[in-house]
Structure 1
Amino acid sequence: MAIAIKTPQEIQKMRRSGEVLSQVHEAVRQAVKPGVSTMDLEKIAERKIAELGGKPAFKGYMDYPACLCTSVNNEVIHGIPSASKQLKDGDIVSVDCGVILDGYYSDAAVTHAVGKTSAATRKLLEVTKQSLEQAIQEVKVGQTLGDIGAAVQEFCEAEGFGVVREFVGHGIGKKMHEDPQVPNYGKRGKGTKLRAGMVLAIEPMINAGRPEVKVLGDGWTAVTVDGSWSAHFEHTVAVTEDGPLVLTR
């Protein structure tokens, strides 16, 4: 496993990519409401990426057809935007997006509540979001990938939620997916040690029910096996001598 160590200059380029991506996410967030289609969100993101001088990281990647992954309710990740999929009051939609700027990638995801959601759904979103923050706190020189995974797993399983195993986070830089893989489960002190200059896309995917998922016939959309709803939050984070640097905040 050859992990690319980024220079401070490269991390600054990734930070600029991440700043563009955060603005794209904000534009999409403002548009999320009942009656909007996931294709409407896609068009907003595509326009915003172009306006800010970036390129979509997902579109065309392994023939994926869109800039966004828009995963609704029991869809975990990789939901394909569609004009026929309209958001309803009480739904949740996970929006995953990546940007290329000046040859460097950034990757981030947010799950939005649509209108008024139930207390149980709000808890799923809050716990998943908090688990990402817990994981980010582990991004320090000398910590391990196992520490990151354990932070997510311990926090979410204590609340009775299922931690997805089939999909994991990843290194990122001049390519969308680089070494190492970054699971959302693990044992503290185990796995690769973190070094300054590593950049990781950390992305808890957490189910309200059991952890198992399956991929639908479109070859992309992953859904929960038990039909429970799923949340997904992600940031691109650099390991620095001063601790974690979130590039997509």
Structure 2
Amino acid sequence: MISFIVPAYNEERLLGATLQAINAVVQALDEPCEVIVVDDGSTDRTAEIGREHGAQVVAVAHRQIAATRNAGARVAQGDVFIFVDADTLVHETLVQMARQALRDGAVGGGAVVRFDGAMPLHARLMVQLVVKLLQVSRLAAGCFFFCTRTAFEAVGGFDERYFAAEELGLSRALKRQGRFLILREPVLSSGRKLRTHSAREMWALLGHLMRGGLGAVRQRKGLDLWYAQRREDPHNGV
């Protein structure tokens, strides 16, 4: 069985499309699947939308992405985990490639990330750099991350000491378990955070991460890109 695990916090505007895309993949696959939405203390209709689309909804109150992802894994029944962010659209080819990679002996992996909508120049440059670094380093972005249950449990899941970059730590840990790869088939995620934060804010975040190292992602402070109140996205009003 494949377990699709979707962490979500106040995602009523984008979650529906994400679940529709997952459900379309589920219908096309020739094996059992389940969809789990981990509602991390949302104050909007996130949980209701999850149920409307047939997902199992798990309520937590962490406001910490690693713990939220792990909460979904703990209730999952599958032997394959696919973590999909609530603003990310998967498709059949991508999931079939991930499934085949695991059948061929890989322990996990990710995909090349593409972002929707127009983005300012500073965001485009930063995205190109980060995406290339992830590919070269064979590190998976958190918006689409797949692995076997066995490998995930062997390394203890996502490291809950971290409020960001937890997917990079898990990528490194899984590499020690076996073959870990980045699929060339892209996954589409929302560019809203990149559109709604200025160049000054983005470079300040980069400086914060470079100065603080691992310590910078062991606390929520300074990580506004992920934890601050959501800003209105001019691309689609979210």
Higher helix residue share: 2
| TM, length-normalised to structure 1 | 0.34
| TM, length-normalised to structure 2 | 0.35
